[in-house]
Homo-oligomer: A and B are copies of this chain.
Amino acid sequence: MAGTAERMASNQKQVAISEFFEKNKHFLGFDSLPRSLITAVKEAVDNSLDACEEARILPEIKIQITKLDGKKDIIELRSEDNGPGIPKKSIEKVFGQLLFGSRFHAIRQSRGQQGIGITGVVMYCQLTTGRKTHVRSKIATETSAAIVDIGLDTRKNKATKSGEGRELWELPDGTLKEHGLEITAQMKAKYQRGRQSVYQYLRMTSIVNPHADITFIDPDGETHHWPRVTERLPRKVESIKPHPHGIHLGTLQRMCTESTDSRMTVFLRNNFSGVSSRAAKELLAAAEIEEKAKPKLLKADHYRALLEAFQGERMLNNKPVKLLNPPTNCLSPIEELLIKKGLSKTIDSRYVTTMTRAPTVTQGNPYQVEVGLIFGDGMAADKPVEVLRFANRVPLMYQQGGCLLTKAIESVDWRQYGLDQAGGRGVPKGPAAILVHLASTNVQFTSEAKEALADNAEVIDEVRKALLEMGRGLRKHLEKKKKMAKTQDKFELVNDIIPAIAEKAAAILDRPVPNLSGSITRIMGAVISEATTVWNKETKQTDVTITLFNYTTRARSYTLLASWPERAGATMVKNEQGGRKEASGVWAWKLDTLEPGQTITFTYSLTGLERGDWTDTDLFYRGSQEVIGASKMDEKLLEEIRRQEAAANGEDEPADDEPVDDGEEAEPTAAQGSEINADPPAKTGQQTLMGFGGDE
């Protein structure tokens, strides 16, 4: 026994982070040959999109995959972008050093955060082929591009370099590249097709990055192109300070110890979001800390007391200190119309609905959920629906079963929304695809491979709410379709068979054929509406035709209302029947009388849209007799739309350039968010309307 402990201890040594990830390369997504290739593409594309977004450039990305040696599974990946490029002296750190990056401490939405991804690719290439990764980088302020081959000394987590130099980066058209980055990497990998493939990854990336232009040249030399569908760059995201609700004791302690602020009031206002001057004073009072106390000199009990005040456990006058929500300009949702655009470009189908929830907060981190659903022909009806998962605009392709987003889908009873689902749990079956996107300043993955989101009860609940709301839309759509089909059947029956019988009877009796329109009307006994929404290639407008038939025996009077994408910037033209705006995105026509058997038609066109932006117009009515094909107007909802519209004061566009000061002595404003509240009723109102306007 003697000496065992000493002997065992003498073998211990420090391992470099790079040795750790080399041994555990499967943590980074390099576990099988097909997946390794997807991971490499993903890291390159994520970096390009992030860099372009930060530099406010509309991204153009080109991926080329070449089989160097098919038998030995050696593949070359070339990735090129038009981003800002990387200055020469930074290249080796970005590509040859793990955990080196700019986004680790920043609280804002971005694809990459850890500074691991692309260095992992360099490491994997070196490990499997022994080769360095070739980098070419051109920045705007220099004439020539920098070139260098980068490897990784995993024992030291340092780059190894060779072939350094400069060259003119000539484009195929003979001009010089202004700025951009090119990576050429050789690795052991396998190219394959199907659900988990580079093709599919890029296709899904294009759905959630409609501002990106992506070209892919596959190993057979075939070119696939996903063009940009919007010129609008994603909203610029600002870094925010941490919110007191998400702070751990140890972090608070470190922040205090490292602080150079002269007094606690200043410290709280400078280092946290959501803390106004008033709130800072109240927090300190609740924690029984002096306002002029120096943060550096705080004691253990103080930290604890302050944390309790943050979390509302220590109160002031029996009330927790109110804090503002963190600002949400650190997030960049895709927004409904753009998701829809991406979806309908990519998957050709009939019913597409999307839904963007208002931003909210978990553990001090702002996040936002967006969902989409495509339903209809061309998809297998007896298979599980396709699940499209995304986090911060990055497609997640592996570990579907272990992902929070999948669990949220599985927790919904889809049977009530018209999809098959054994036992009301699990991924439903049906001709549909469900898209879920989580935008967050701190996406918690289950591992660095970034393929599945870790459990979080609040986030799962938020996703569920979005799905339920979207599900209700699907149910309405299916009910409407069924009702229309039934009426259609009846109408055809009545219109075809009764005249045939009448004709036959008349012939037999040798009497004239009677006029049947009265009878048909009586048998149908319904008012029917129909709207067609069609893209007009010639005029580049979306033409809408709305028809109303009165198949009842009495004169009817209605107000007919239609949804239109006003908030998305469309303009209504050629509307000859006039009418009036009822609310943002809702137009109304008042009809005094619609006689029995009478038909009335409204037509108008929408400008300012692109093909696929608007494919379905919703109809509503006010009146006592039901209108088949339209919904009775929900006046409360309309009221809510008007209220929000008034509040927004025309601020439809996100304020890109206005710096938002977080919560300075403040009544909450729209930009700063309202007081934290578990589930404010108005939270999803605006989103609902967008959904309303667009999808049902």
Chain A residues with CB under 8 Å of chain B are 1-6, 8-9, 11-17, 19-20, 22-24, 26-27, 31-32, 51, 54-55, 57, 72, 84-87, 89-90, 93-94, 97, 99-102, 104-105, 114-115, 126-130, 139-141, 154-155, 178-179, 248-251, 253-254, 300, 303-304, 313, 399, 401-402, 444, 446-449, 452, 454-455
Contact = CB atoms under 8 A, between A and B. Distances in A.
B249 A130 contact: yes
A51 B114 contact: no
B402 A102 contact: no
Given A1-B57, A19-B104, 13 more contacts: A4-B140, A5-B140, A13-B100, A15-B115, A16-B99, A20-B104, A27-B447, A27-B448, A127-B248, A399-B446, A402-B446, A446-B446, A447-B449
Contacts of A115: 12, 15
Given A14-B100, A446-B399, A127 B5 contact: no
Contacts of A94: 9, 12
Given A5-B179, A6-B139, A128-B249, A101 B12 contact: yes
Find the residue from A4, A5, A17, A23 having the highest chain B CB count within 10 A.
A5
A447 B141 CA distance: 42
A141 B2 contact: yes
A140 B14 contact: no
A558 to B, nearest CB: 52
Q: In the complex, which of the residues A130, A253, A452 has the most CB atoms of chain B within 10 Å of its own CB atom?
A: A130
B90 A14 contact: no
Contacts of A13: 100-102
A494 B30 CA distance: 68
A51 B13 CA distance: 16
Contacts of A23: 104
A104 B454 CA distance: 27
Contacts of A105: 15
A130 B4 contact: no
Contacts of A178: 1
A19 B114 CA distance: 10
Contacts of A55: 1, 4-5, 8
A248 B128 contact: yes
B141 A3 contact: yes
A130 B112 CA distance: 30
Contacts of A51: 8
Contact of A93 (B12, B31, B402, B447): B12
Contact of A447 (B32, B84, B85, B447): B447
7 contacts: A3-B141, A4-B140, A12-B94, A13-B100, A13-B101, A15-B115, A128-B248
Contacts of A248: 127-128
B444 A31 contact: yes
Nearest to A11: B102
A8 B102 contact: yes
Given A5-B85, A139-B5, A140-B1, A104 B15 contact: yes
A32 B455 contact: yes
A126 B12 CA distance: 24
A467 B31 CA distance: 25
Contacts of A85: 5
Contacts of A90: 9, 12
B87 A31 contact: no
A114 B15 contact: yes
A611 to B, nearest CB: 32
Nearest to A457: B32
Contacts of A104: 15, 19-20, 23
Nearest to A94: B12
B26 A444 contact: yes
A276 B19 CA distance: 29
A633 B141 CA distance: 86
Nearest to A100: B14
Contacts of A20: 17, 99, 104, 114
Contact of A249 (B6, B14, B129, B452): B129
A19 B27 CA distance: 18
A84 B11 CA distance: 15
Nearest to A142: B5
Given A54-B8, A90-B9, A130 B84 contact: no
A502 to B, nearest CB: 55
Contacts of A447: 27, 446-449
A129 B304 CA distance: 8
Contacts of A313: 72
A86 B5 contact: yes
A401 B6 CA distance: 42
A690 B86 CA distance: 64
B1 A84 contact: yes
A26 B15 CA distance: 21
The list of the 7 closest CB pairs from A to B, nearest first, reads A447-B447, A127-B250, A402-B402, A11-B102, A5-B139, A5-B84, A9-B90
A409 to B, nearest CB: 14
Contacts of A114: 15, 20, 24
Contacts of A100: 12-15
A6 B84 CA distance: 9
Contact of A140 (B2, B303, B444): B2
Contacts of A3: 140-141
Contact of A300 (B32, B84, B130): B130
A55 B4 CA distance: 6
A186 to B, nearest CB: 11
A202 to B, nearest CB: 23
A126 B72 CA distance: 49
Nearest to A116: B20
A338 to B, nearest CB: 25
A252 to B, nearest CB: 8
A126 B249 CA distance: 8
B19 A87 contact: no
Contact of A304 (B1, B4, B24, B130): B130
Contacts of A402: 399, 401-402, 446, 452
A15 B130 contact: no
A169 to B, nearest CB: 14
A402 B248 CA distance: 30
B87 A5 contact: yes
